[in-house]
Structure 1
Amino acid sequence: MQRLVFSLLASALLMPGLALAQSGYYEQDDRYGYDRENVTYGYADVLRVDPIYELVRTRVPEERCGEEVRDGGDPTGGTVVGAIVGGALGNQVGKGDGRKAATVAGAVIGGAIGRSIDKNNGSASSGGCRMVEVEREERRITGYDVEYQFNGQKYVSRLSYDPGNRLRVRVSVMPDDQDGQGVGYR
């Protein structure tokens, strides 16, 4: 029973010290044994928030399907067919030697026309699917320049988030050691 009372009494006495040590309220300082951190928290009024943008370029593979693809084809077939048709028409026009000349001229003109038509039309085919790389540009927000006011003073900080109308701030107070004497009693 005495051990239980002693344990409870020791626990009650040590708990506040452990709680302060875990909270970081006291930090060790070799000069004085311990030093208070002197930190409080408050809220500042946000005056302005400006997003910071960055232009990001990415190359993304994209599948394209069902596009009609034209190839120039081989114009030989059109040339031959055009020459035959042109020659047959030229053969109908003249008599004697004029017929031979009209046949040759019709074949030459028909071949040229057939070649031109076949070359322009080509053969159209709807291809299957293929992968192509597409370059995309995107504006991304990389942070925010935030202007805020705390205790009558204006400050600007770059944050990774938009804080809204109020910003929680950490206030730390430390003595100014201008004379180089350190902190202590005189």
Structure 2
Amino acid sequence: MKKVTFITLALAAGVALSTPTAFARRDDYGRYEVRYDWATVIDVDPIVERTRRPVTRDVCYDQPVDRYEPGYTARRDHTGSTLLGAVIGGALGNQVGKGDGRKAATIAGAVIGGAVGNNASHRRGDYYETSGGYVRDYETRCRQETAWRGGRDVVGYEVTYRYRGDIFHTTMDHHPGNRLRVRVDRGVTPAE
């Protein structure tokens, strides 16, 4: 009977020591003391989620465009104005003179009229559209395209650590490294 009692007591002590309260200390008022220590990290497994996210990019290309390009030429032909002035001047000179003077008046009128017509055409710098056409040009145009990219993102870590011979598990948002700072009170938890 003594053997059974001793084994039972040993089992009960082992269970009591493995519970979290085995690490706790009480102060003079019966409250659990909080202390910090270091635990050894045994295993770290990443928690991975598959993701799909849109990736938008601009796709640009050169679009051919036909545009009309007018051509302008300066028209400075003074011949018509000079001839018209000479004819009008000659006709007026012919009206003025008599006999041999009529020929001289006609010639003088034609010369003076031609000079006036030529001078008038110099002051009037008219431009006339004489040519033009369509020209092939290119414009850069862009549009947005969205492609879906798949990936695997690490969203956390399953951490297994040992403190004073006991094994604990927790989930963390970062990799803890080889050691983990723990808070020891009624239990053993990772310290923030």
**TM-score under structure 1 length normalisation:** 0.41
Higher strand share: 2
The structure with the larger Rg is 2
